[in-house]
Amino acid sequence: MEEKKLDTNSLIGFLLIGAILLYMLWQNQPTPEQLAAEQQAKQEQIDTSSSNQKSENSTLENTQPPSNTQQKSRLGDFAYSLEIPSAKDSFTLLENDVLVLKINNKGGGISEAKLKTFVNYDSVPVYLIKDQTARFNLNFSTSDNRTLNTSDLYFEPTLKNEGAKKVLSMKLKVSEDQYLEYLYTITPDDYMLGFNIRSKGLSGVLDSNKNANFEWDLKALRQDQSITFENRYTRLSYEYEGDKTGKLSQAGEDDETLDKVSWISYRQHFFSSILVPDSPLSKVELKSYDLVEDETVDTVFTKRYNTKFPLTYSSGELVQNMSLYFGPTYNKVLKKYDKNLESSIPFGWGIFGWINKSVFSPLYAWLSSFLSYGIAIIVMTIMVKILLSFVQYKQFLSQAKMKILKPELDAIREKYKKDKMKAQQETLALQNKAGASPLSGCLPGLLQIPVFYSLFMFFPIAFELRQKPFLWVEDLSSYDTIAELPFNIPFYGDHISLFPILASIAIFFYMRMTTGQNMASQPQQEGMPDMAKMMKYMIYFSPLLMLFFFNNYASGLSLYYFVSNLISIGIMLVIKNYIIDEEKVLAKINVSKAKPKKQSRFQKKMAEIMEQAEKQKAAQERRKR
C-alpha cells in the first residue's frame, strides 16, 4: 500500500486556506440581536414541524399498504411470475465434483461460481462469480408493446437428476404451460455445463419482429498476488469466422461488433468464464473496461466484460443452445472440448505461438510429470541452451575471425582513410577471402529470437506453475519475496524479489563478456569511441531494466533467465578455452585467403553498387573543380 505524505507546498496551502476561513468567520459573526432573532425563528420552526408530524402520523394510520397493481400492469402477461412461491431472492445449488453454482430465482442467472479444487493467493476458494458480480439478462418485447428484462423478474426452479446429470430448469411463467426457460445441465467432474434458452407457448405473447437481446456482464475478481501481473493477462478474447481469434485491448476501454462468433472468453489470467454457442452468433457486441486505476493500491476487480447479442426465433418461439465453461485457463483441460478454446490462452502470435503450443507446453508438461516444477524449468532451460549452443559457437567463431583480421582491417582503413568507399570495398574483399563476414555471426543469432520470445510468453501463462513452490519461492507463477518494503517504488513495487536480482547479475556478467569480445573484434573507425561508450552503458542499463521489469513478474520466468545466462556464460567459456584455437583459425583464414574466392550474386551486386557510387562521387568532384 502506497504511503501518502503531505509536501511543504500542500501544507502551506492548507494553512493559508484555514487562515482565510477563520478570517471570514470572524468578519461574518452575528450580532446579539441577530442571534436572538435566529433562536426565535428556530423555535417557531420546531413547533410547526411537530404539528405537521402529528397530522402525517394520523393520515398514515388510516392508509392501507400499497398493492402491486401497478407492477402487475407493467408486466402484463408476465405478472404471473409475481404470484409463484419462488418470487423472492433465493438460490438453487447446482454442483458436481469440481464446480459449485448458485442460481438466483430473480433473473434466473448464475450469481455465484466457485471452483472446488483451487484457492487464490490468499488461500480463499477461487470464485469466478461472487456476490452477483455477473448478470444474465434477456431484454425482449411483447405483442402488447411492453419491453421487459428478465433480470428484474422471478423464475421458478426445478432441479432433477437424469442419470449422472443434474438438470435445473428455471422458468419465467405466463401460465403453467406458457413460459420462458433457462435450462442448466451439469455432468460429473466437468467445468462445462449446458445452458439453453427457450420459450414454450409464447408465440402470441412475444413480439418476434423485434430483437430479443441476451446480455452477459461480468466483473473479474482478483485472484493473483500481483495485481499488475494478473491484469496484464486478464483479457476478453473470442473466435470468429471459423478459426480466426481476436481480443480486446488489455488496457483502458475497448469494444468490437462481430459476426459468426464461435466462443467468447472472459479470461482472468489463470481462470476463464467462456460462453460457447452451439452455432455461431451474429451481431455480437463485445466490451471491456479496465477497473484497475492504481496498481499500487489493493483492488478487488481487474476488468469488467460485457457481451450482447440477439437470440433467434423459430415459429415465434425463442431458441438458443449454448454451453458455459467456468474453470482453469489450462491448455490440457480446454483442449479436450475440441472447440479450439485453447486459443484463448495467449501463447503468442505466429511462429511464437506455434513453438509454445507444439514444443514448450508439451515438453514442460512431460518434464513436470516426474520432476519438481522448479527443476523442470532448469532441465528445460538446459535442453534449450544445448540445442542452441551451435548458435553461440557460430557467433564466437565469427568474433574470433574478426579479432584475428582486426590489424589488417585497421591497416586498410588507415591506408584509405580519405576514400571511405575504397576502404569499404577492400574490407569486404578481405572478409570474403577469409570467410569472416560479420553477417555469419549475426544471422545464426537471429534463430534465438523466436525461442527467446516464445519462452517469455510461455512462463507467465503456464498453468502448471500456479502455486507451485521451489526453494524459497512459494508460487512460481508469481513474484518471490525476500523482503517487504514500507513504501512503493515506481515501476518496481513494494517488495524485493531475489530471482530478478540473480538474473540481473548473470545478465551483467554475460553482457560484459560478450560486449568485450565484440569490441575487441571490431576495427577502429570514426565514431567508435561513442559506440564503445554506448555499449558500456548497455552493460549496466540492461540488467537494471531486467531488475525493475521482472520484480512483479512470475518468478519462474526470472528463474529461467538466471539459469539461461549462467549456462550461456559456461558455454562461452568452454568454446573460448577448449574448442576454438585462434592459431588454427588463423591458419584456416590464411588458406582461405590464398584460394581464389568466387563471389556470390549478392557480393557481385554489392561490388557493382559500390563501384557505381565511387564513379558518381568522382564525377561530382570533377564538376566542383
Kindly indicate the confidence band of residue 442, based on its pLDDT and cuts at 50, 70 and 90: low
**How far apart (Å, rounded) are the C-alpha atoms in residues 231 and 234?**
5
Strand ranges of the sheet holding 99-104, from the earlier edge strand across to the other edge: 91-95, 99-104, 110-119, 125-129
Across residues 594-623, what is the average pLDDT? 62
User: Whole-model pTM?
Assistant: 0.73
Lowest pLDDT segment from 173-187, 211-225, 436-450: 436-450
Domain edges within the chain: 76-346, 359-594, 596-625
* 587-598 per-position pLDDT tens digit: 655 555 555 555
Which candidate, 430, 433, 440, 425, places its Cα nearest to that of 406? 430
In single-letter form, the type of residue at position 79 comes to A
Across residues 32-47, what is the average pLDDT? 46
Q: Where are the beta strands (DSSP E) in 96-164?
A: 99-104, 110-119, 125-129, 134-141, 147-149, 156-162
Cβ pair 162, 168 in contact under 8 A: no
- Name the more confident of 213 and 477: 213
Kindly indicate the confidence band of residue 316, based on its pLDDT and cuts at 50, 70 and 90: confident
- Which H or E run includes 415? helix 389-415
Domain 76-346 has CATH 3.10.620.30: no
From the CB of residue 209, how many other CB atoms can be counted at a distance below 10 Å? 8
State yes or no: pLDDT of 69 exceeds 70.
no
Kindly indicate the confidence band of residue 490, based on its pLDDT and cuts at 50, 70 and 90: confident
The residues facing 341 across adjacent strands are: none
Whole-number pLDDT of residue 186: 94
